[in-house]
């Protein structure tokens, strides 16, 4: 009884949450090719609502043998459709078409050979899904009041599932990751990687769903899927929010103004250090200052005069990644001062800061 | 007062001794009980250590470090729940839980959370690396992908999850899922071990990644063992996982100790 109600509740919650996410996405203002991405993501969510609806119907009103076979094939087809839409969304983001008419967006995506291959694989599996025969057996399930027909998976089904799972997992994830490495904006890059992680969750849940159908508990995979959907919707909203673009523009303008006015070097250095450390998050930013104060007796304000201690502290905390962090801080410092950062041989962090200081005094 | 790190190592040594005593036939305890006691104890210690780290960093998902710890603690808690549920099932029914079962969903969900946890921290450093002018930075995504494919291919060859395909296709599918998820986590742990070698954070994250890598090696070994019928709950090879979790707990403990807020 409890398991039955829990399964039912999970299905209903999943449908409700997915519907709310569709609403949230629909209301999101998007522009250019992001509009197409938005529509594709909504299509994917609709497909997953379709899957949940089929499972719900099967649960509350058990289907006969033939209807169960069709339902299972339909679930697999909807999963393939979702894979195609997510893959398309990833491709559109990666290709960034120059013209934003829908015709051009999709034409450009289809020209992308890996995407065409991905769609071909999905199409082959879609056809196989309806051609390859499937048997079902009646089973008494703890998650249902009445007996349910469950699928009997043969090796050919498992091979089809596994290969389509790998396609679903690898293609959109790889393209989102490629897009994240191609994009220059750090925040957007992070969001695209979050999307890739979301896709992994959705692909894994879809693969597990097929097999948990046999155990009469396919709804359980919503526990993985729903958090992924929520995260993806949140990330999409954040990335496309007009406000964030305005903030970026404002930040660039402020940086431009700072470059034009002659700044106080120590203050600019401290700001650059803060900005560089914040690239790793607030917690590590605070941890570095705490370590400096406790272990080296250096307060934040004293840092411009004790750069060697700062360098050593970074090395003690971060190991060899400290050099990457130093370079990021130096790049921010040079950018704030309107100078060009050129890497030299055998120069320490302090040497680079001294070069910047001298260059500023010469102005 | 004995430091927490020494206590954690002492408990792990005790659990290792328990396996050895069982192996020598000096106790009548069933091997499933030895396994359940060992896993539940060490996972409790790991969760407690992460709780200490979370008390320092704070719980949340906005900051990469907070996110890494928060997601990891959820992952370890899910593993704890799965092990606990399996132990209760075995004790009440006298037989091992069916495979696959709902317990496997919880366990694989734990795996997904740990993948996300490890990635949220590693990804931040990878992004930092991309901002530098290091010529090797372009190799990082390639190395990551190559590592993943190499580890997955090696795991699939070693485990061969499709061997029981004709006998029990469902089991084969679950074995395949586990092999892929384990391989993702294992390759991520290897990547972290390459990235984080020195420094306090390097040691901390190296310990956590090393521990996760040991745990995943045991997971893959146990999958192969189940298929080849040499593995059973309480097999001495589980010591790998016990010490894996110990390393993870030591890593979290190191962070909590080093970055404890000033009074």
Domain residue ranges in chain A:
2-240, 245-362
| Residue B213: predicted pLDDT | 92
Query: What is the band of A98 on the pLDDT scale with cuts at 50, 70, 90?
Result: low
Whole-complex ipTM: 0.77
- A292-308 CB burial, b ≥16 within 10 A, e <16: beeebebeeeebbebbe
Nearest-neighbour CA in chain B from A211: distance (Å): 6
| Residue A242: predicted pLDDT | 47
Collect all residues of chain B within an 8 Å Cβ-Cβ radius of residue A177.
141
The DSSP secondary structure of A6-52, one letter per residue, reads HHHHHHHHHHHHHHHHHHHHHHS---HHHHHHHHHHHHHHHHHHHHH
Averaging pLDDT over each range in A10-19, A152-161, B22-31, which range is the top one? A10-19
CATH code for the domain defined by A2-240: 1.20.1070.10
Mean pLDDT throughout B1-26? 82
pLDDT tens digits, A216-251:
888 888 888 999 999 999 888 887 774 444 445 556
Mean pLDDT throughout A200-207? 90
Mean pLDDT throughout A30-55? 87
Nearest to A177 among B130, B141, B262 (CB): B141
Query: What is the band of A363 on the pLDDT scale with cuts at 50, 70, 90?
Result: low
pTM of the model: 0.58
Mean pLDDT throughout B71-79? 90
Collect all residues of chain A within an 8 Å Cβ-Cβ radius of residue B202.
318-321
Mean of the per-residue pLDDT values of chain B: 84
Query: What is the band of A44 on the pLDDT scale with cuts at 50, 70, 90?
Result: very high
Tell me which of A34-43, B192-201, B242-251 is least confident. Answer: B192-201
Cβ–Cβ contact A312 with B under 8 A: no
**Greater pLDDT, A18 or A146:** A18
pLDDT at B249 over 90: yes
Averaging pLDDT over each range in A16-20, A161-165, B162-166, which range is the top one? A16-20
**Greater pLDDT, B137 or A133:** A133
B residues 3-62 closer than 8 Å to A (CB): 57-58
| Residue B255: predicted pLDDT | 85
Mean pLDDT throughout B85-97? 83
Q: Do A211 and B101 touch (CB under 8 A)?
A: no
**Greater pLDDT, B83 or A257:** B83
Query: What is the band of B10 on the pLDDT scale with cuts at 50, 70, 90?
Result: confident
Cβ–Cβ contact B181 with A under 8 A: yes
Cβ–Cβ contact A6 with B under 8 A: no
Collect all residues of chain B within an 8 Å Cβ-Cβ radius of residue A282.
63
- A70-96 CB burial, b ≥16 within 10 A, e <16: ebbbebbbbbbbbbbbbbbbbbbbbbe
pLDDT at A256 over 70: no
| Residue B159: predicted pLDDT | 83
Q: Do A158 and B172 touch (CB under 8 A)?
A: yes
Mutate which of A165, A182, A210, A212 to disrupt the B interface (most B C-beta within 10 Å)? A212
* Cα gap A329→A269, rounded to integer Å: 9
A150 phi/psi in degrees, rounded to 5: -120, 150
Collect all residues of chain B within an 8 Å Cβ-Cβ radius of residue A316.
199-200
pLDDT at A262 over 60: no
| Residue A249: predicted pLDDT | 52
Q: Do B169 and A177 touch (CB under 8 A)?
A: no
| Residue A247: predicted pLDDT | 47
Cβ–Cβ contact A35 with B under 8 A: no
**Greater pLDDT, B39 or A346:** B39
* Cα gap A108→A91, rounded to integer Å: 9
| Residue A245: predicted pLDDT | 46
Q: Do A317 and B201 touch (CB under 8 A)?
A: yes
Any residues with CB less than 8 A from the CB of B183 and at least 6 apart, and which?
A: B148, B151, B152, B155, B156, B216, B220
pLDDT tens digits, B27-49:
777 888 888 889 889 999 999 99
Collect all residues of chain B within an 8 Å Cβ-Cβ radius of residue A214.
170
| Residue A77: predicted pLDDT | 93
Q: Which residue of A has its CA nearest to B57?
A: A283
Cβ–Cβ contact B168 with A under 8 A: no
Mean pLDDT throughout A319-332? 84
| Residue A50: predicted pLDDT | 92
| Residue B100: predicted pLDDT | 81
| Residue B57: predicted pLDDT | 78
**Greater pLDDT, A158 or B166:** A158
Mean of the per-residue pLDDT values of chain A: 82
Mean pLDDT throughout A57-62? 80
Does residue A89 contact residue A41 with C-beta atoms inside 8 Å?
yes
Nearest to B200 among A220, A282, A316 (CB): A316
**Greater pLDDT, B129 or B81:** B81
Query: What is the band of A76 on the pLDDT scale with cuts at 50, 70, 90?
Result: very high
Mean pLDDT throughout A185-201? 86
Collect all residues of chain B within an 8 Å Cβ-Cβ radius of residue A279.
124, 127-128, 131
Domain residue ranges in chain B:
4-258
Q: Which CATH superfamily is domain A245-362 in?
A: Protein of unknown function DUF3227 (1.10.1200.200)
Question: What residue has token string 């629909």?
Answer: A26
Residues paired with residue A260 on neighbouring β-strands, in sequence order: none
| Residue B236: predicted pLDDT | 86
Collect all residues of chain A within an 8 Å Cβ-Cβ radius of residue B192.
none
């Amino acid at each position: 009884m409890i398991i039955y109600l829990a399964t039912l509740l999970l299905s209903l919650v999943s449908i409700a949450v997915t519907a709310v996410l569709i609403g949230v996405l629909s209301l999101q203002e998007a522009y250019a090719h992001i509009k197409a991405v938005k529509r594709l993501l909504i299509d994917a969510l609709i497909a997953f609502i379709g899957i949940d609806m089929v499972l719900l119907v099967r649960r509350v009103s058990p289907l006969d043998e033939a209807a169960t076979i069709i339902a299972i094939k339909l679930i697999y087809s909807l999963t393939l459709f979702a894979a195609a839409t997510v893959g398309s969304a990833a491709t559109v983001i990666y290709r960034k078409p120059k013209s934003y008419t829908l015709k051009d967006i999709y034409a450009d995506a289809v020209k992308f050979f890996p995407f065409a291959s991905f769609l071909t694989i999905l199409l082959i599996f879609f056809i196989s899904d309806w051609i390859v025969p499937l048997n079902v057996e009646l089973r008494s399930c703890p998650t249902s009041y009445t007996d349910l027909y469950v699928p009997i998976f043969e090796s050919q089904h498992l091979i089809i599932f596994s290969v389509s799972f790998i396609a679903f997992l690898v293609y959109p994830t790889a393209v989102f990751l490629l897009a994240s490495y191609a994009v220059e904006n750090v925040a957007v890059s992070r969001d695209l990687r979050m999307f890739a992680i979301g896709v992994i969750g959705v692909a894994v849940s879809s693969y597990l769903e097929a097999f948990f159908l046999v155990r009469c508990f396919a709804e359980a995979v919503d526990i993985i899927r729903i958090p992924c959907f929520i995260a993806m919707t949140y990330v999409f909203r954040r990335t496309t929010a007009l406000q964030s673009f305005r903030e970026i523009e404002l930040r660039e303008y402020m940086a431009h103004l700072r470059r034009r006015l002659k700044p106080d070097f120590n203050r600019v250095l401290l700001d650059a250090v803060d900005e560089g450390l914040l690239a790793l998050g607030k917690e590590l930013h605070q941890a570095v200052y705490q370590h400096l104060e406790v272990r080296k007796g250096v307060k934040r304000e004293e840092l411009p005069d004790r750069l060697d201690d700062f360098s050593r502290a970074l090395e003690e905390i971060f190991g060899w990644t400290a050099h990457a962090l130093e370079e990021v801080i130096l790049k921010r410092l040079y950018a704030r001062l309107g100078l060009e950062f050129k890497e030299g041989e055998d120069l320490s962090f302090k040497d680079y800061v001294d070069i910047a200081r001298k260059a500023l005094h010469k102005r | 007062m004995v430091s927490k790190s020494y206590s954690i190592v002492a408990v792990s040594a005790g659990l290792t001794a328990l396996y050895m005593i069982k192996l020598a036939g000096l106790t009548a305890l069933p091997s499933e009980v030895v396994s359940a006691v060992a896993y539940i104890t060490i996972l409790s210690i790991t969760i407690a250590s992460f709780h200490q780290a979370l008390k320092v960093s704070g719980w949340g998902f906005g900051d990469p470090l907070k996110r890494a710890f928060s997601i990891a603690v959820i992952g370890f808690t899910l593993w704890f729940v799965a092990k606990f549920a399996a132990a209760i099932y075995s004790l009440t029914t006298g037989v091992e839980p069916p495979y696959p079962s709902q317990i496997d969903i919880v366990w694989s969900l734990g795996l997904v959370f740990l993948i996300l946890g490890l990635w949220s921290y590693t990804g931040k450093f990878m992004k930092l690396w991309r901002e530098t002018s290091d010529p090797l930075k372009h190799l990082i995504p390639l190395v990551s992908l190559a590592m993943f494919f190499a580890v997955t291919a090696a795991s699939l060859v070693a485990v061969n999850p499709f061997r029981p395909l004709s006998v029990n296709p469902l089991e084969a599918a679950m074995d395949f899922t586990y092999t892929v998820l384990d391989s993702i986590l294992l390759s991520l742990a290897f990547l972290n071990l390459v990235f984080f070698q020195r420094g306090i954070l390097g040691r901390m994250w190296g310990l956590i990644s090393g521990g996760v890598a040991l745990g995943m090696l045991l997971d893959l070994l146990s999958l192969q063992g189940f298929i080849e019928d040499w593995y059973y709950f309480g097999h001495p090879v589980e010591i790998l996982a016990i010490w894996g979790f110990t390393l993870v707990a030591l890593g979290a403990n190191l962070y909590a100790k080093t970055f404890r807020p000033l009074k």
